[in-house]
Amino acid sequence: MDQEHSAHREITPGARVAPPPTWADLAPYHIPAEANPHFITNGVCVLLDDSQIDLCGGERGWYYRRAEMVTASVGAERVAQFSVSFDPAFERLEVHSIAVIRAGQRIEHTTSAFFEVLRRERNMERLQFDGRLTIHVTLPDVRAGDVVETSYTLYGMRKSLGGRHASWVPFEWSVGICETRLRQRTPPERVVAERAFLGVPIATQIEADGVIDRRWQTKERPGVRFEVLAPPWTVQSAGVQFSEWRDWAEVAGAFTPLYEESAPLPADVEAEIARIGADEKTAAGRAAAVLRFTQNAVRYLAISIGEGGFTPRALEQICATRYGDCKDKSKLYVAMARRLGLDACPALVNTRDGYGLNTWLPSGVVFDHCIVRVVVDGAVYWLDPTRLMQPSPLAALNKCHFGWALPLKPGAAALERMSDPSPAHTLEAEERVTLGKSPVDPIRYEWKLTSRRGRAEWVREHIAREGQVGLFKLYAEDIARRYAGAQPLRQEIVSEDAERNEIVAVEVYEITGAWTPGQDKARNFSTYDLTIRSQLAALDAGPRQHPIYLGQLGKVTRKVFIDAAYQLRFAGWKRVVESSGLVFRTELRKEGPKSFVLEQELEFRALMLPAAEADKYRAIVAEIDQSDLAFNAQVGRRGMFIGAEGGSVDWSDSTATDWLWRLAPYALFAGYLAWRYLGAAAP
């Protein structure tokens, strides 16, 4: 079906309605009488996803066309909304068609549509501003059975990329697509490398009139089921990566000069450098001191409009405004560190896909963050000036671990492997539960949480933002969701050791109504694991293809002391559930006549587990899910008993308190008889 060419009409500076470019192929696609039921999702069947990239002109052009068939009203609600975003600082947008195809007739809306121009700043709450504009149209009449077809072209790219083309084009999504097309036009002198992932179809190529025309096409490609807990950098769907960057040396060579600046620093910053040099006699001390300055004296704010997304500002601007993003803070850190004789340079990283960068084509657009590489006494440290509250010495503070990084320094020619986090005892919980003599008595529950390394720094950041009151309010709300009658008796940070990067918090609660009603007059109470259960997420059932991402190394431990009012007898237990990279140990043992202790340890021996060990992972999660002690208080013919589920815990011994509790109903009944027959007869 031929597409109508809309007349030129400006929407906003940088965006207009215009005919499609002459190089675009507007070949028709199949519109069925009824949608394929296997490709319907949320009332929509996607008939066509068409991307065409042109590198033969003076600027890159990226044409995109999409056609969707509406199968239900819920689908009409979605496809009636057309939106496309662009950055007016270096891009221009041409909208070609917004059409509804109904019963073979095309209703074109581009000439009459009201275009809303929005600046949506989706990361404003994270203090990130990119200046992108969104063009939005709401179609007035879309019905079930209609096909909504839209097309537009984006032109241009950032100057800092030097005109080099790089992109990642997917061939699969979570929903199935009836037809997917990809086309790329290049002149013979432009060499664009390609790397296909996961079953991308073989391209066809035609060379004519000085243009290399490469095309890919798939039909009726089903949606992909993305596995949860896969390593973030795992490629789970088919796609093609394109890159005109020859190697990582070219990437480093393009960005390194942006961070090299010999201009003098303001007097107050020079004074801070002099102070650090006088106070800190070691290279490690100076590296940590400069980090604290750039973290705390320069607030975070990212103005990523236009070239600001890839280019740091001048040192004079950074120091004058006392704000900056990751690039600005890293540039300032390097300038100060070098004046103190340190070997430092910026480094580009990818916080999500960093461990997979060595399998990708070299490219200048695969990074999303800038940090610092500093060498102290022969050891390499990766530091993040955008973090807060890292007062610890260099050896103790939490470092960056993103897989691969690209150092920005003269002569840099390759990615550098960052170290994995070293194993550590990051979180340690000690709990003490004091049970009353009966289910109507309150329970005293104490938590002592020792946080180390990154967890300690998270606690400091939260206190810096909300104060200790805010931190413990957060904790108390969590406790109250489990125990409605919990009242805090004590909440405080009892110690903070910056040298070891450790914080210890204590919370004590009195819980009334802790024993909840159960069956047959029973009362139930269970401990509350705030430490170990949150470390692992559940895994879907069924076979698995990708590894399971654990994300940390070291261990998390929990020790629960139970003090009862009765003598207890039980066999206890000791169980271990393990895989190659993850081990959970749990043990219940007696400590005294009326006390016992539950010890648990979750050890991370690797950052991820092989897919073949999915069942072992599930077994560990299942064991952790039942690791809390569930107590049962039962009043019956033999009196009141307290038991604990989760292992071979026997019923408690009867004591004088048992007998008093057992006799209480009879005492009440005797009192009633005395009142009824003696009190009523009194004059």
pLDDT tens by residue, 599-617:
999 999 999 999 999 999 9
pLDDT for 306: 58
- Let me know if residue 682 belongs to a domain: no
pLDDT at 250: 97
For residues 647-675, give the mean pLDDT.
36
Same-domain check for residues 597 and 649:
yes
Residue 68 and residue 106 share a domain: yes
Read off the DSSP letter of residue 337: H
pLDDT for the residue numbered 438: 84
Query: Rounded to an integer, what distance in angstroms lies between the CA atom of residue 362 and that of residue 408?
Result: 14
Domain end, chosen from 417, 449, 478, is at: 417
What mean pLDDT do residues 324-345 have?
96
pLDDT at position 130:
64
Residue 234 and residue 290 share a domain? no
- Asked if residue 673 belongs to a domain, the reply is no
**135 & 60 share domain:** yes
Contact 372, 312 (CB under 8 A): no
Structural domain includes residue 660: no
Domain count, the chain: 3
For residue 4, tell me if it sits in a domain. Answer: no
Listing from the earlier edge strand, what are the strands of the sheet with 639-645?
A: 516-517, 523-526, 630-636, 639-645
Is the residue at 681 inside a domain? no
Residue with the bigger pLDDT between 113 and 353: it is 353
Let me know whether 95 and 28 are in one domain. yes
pLDDT of residue 378: 96
- For residues 303 and 214, membership in a common domain is answered with no
pLDDT surpasses 90 at 166: yes
Last residue of a domain, one of 199, 220, 242: 242
Question: Could you tell me if 486 and 401 lie in one domain?
Answer: no
Q: Are residues 563 and 546 in the same domain?
A: yes
pLDDT at 29: 96
From first CA to last CA, the distance across the chain in angstroms is 107
Instruction: List, for residues 574-597, the tens digit of each pLDDT value.
Output: 999 999 999 999 999 988 888 999
Q: Where does a domain end: 399, 417, 435?
A: 417
> In terms of domains, do 78 and 166 share one?
yes
In this structure, is the dihedral angle defined by the CA atoms of residues 309, 249, 419 and 548, taken in order, positive or negative?
A: positive
Distances (CA, A) of 509 to 478, 485, 525, 596: 12, 9, 15, 20
pLDDT of residue 388: 87
CB neighbours of 121 closer than 8 A, spacing ≥ 6? 129, 130, 132
**If you average pLDDT over every residue of the chain, what do you get?**
88
Residue 285 has what DSSP assignment?
A: H
Question: Within 13 A of 290's CA, how many CA atoms are on the CB side?
Answer: 31
Q: Sorting pLDDT into bands at 50, 70 and 90, what band is 662? A: very low
Verify that 411 and 440 share a domain, yes or no: no
Q: What pLDDT score was predicted for residue 651?
A: 36
Alpha helices (H) along 2-141: 73-79
* pLDDT score for 623: 95
pLDDT category at 124 given cuts 50, 70, 90 is: low
Task: Specify whether 587 is located in the same domain as 548.
Answer: yes
- Give the pTM: 0.87
pLDDT bin (cut points 50, 70, 90) of residue 632 is confident
Residue 677 lies in a domain: no
Listing DSSP states for 115-184 in one string gives PEEE---TTGGGTEE---EEEEEE-S---TT-EEEEEEEEE---GGGTT--EEEEES--SS-EEEEEEEE
- Domain with residue 497: its CATH number is 2.60.120.1130
Q: Which domain holds residue 345?
A: 250-417
Closest CA to 44 of 219, 176, 222, 173: 176
326 pLDDT higher than 90: yes
Residue 127, pLDDT score? 53
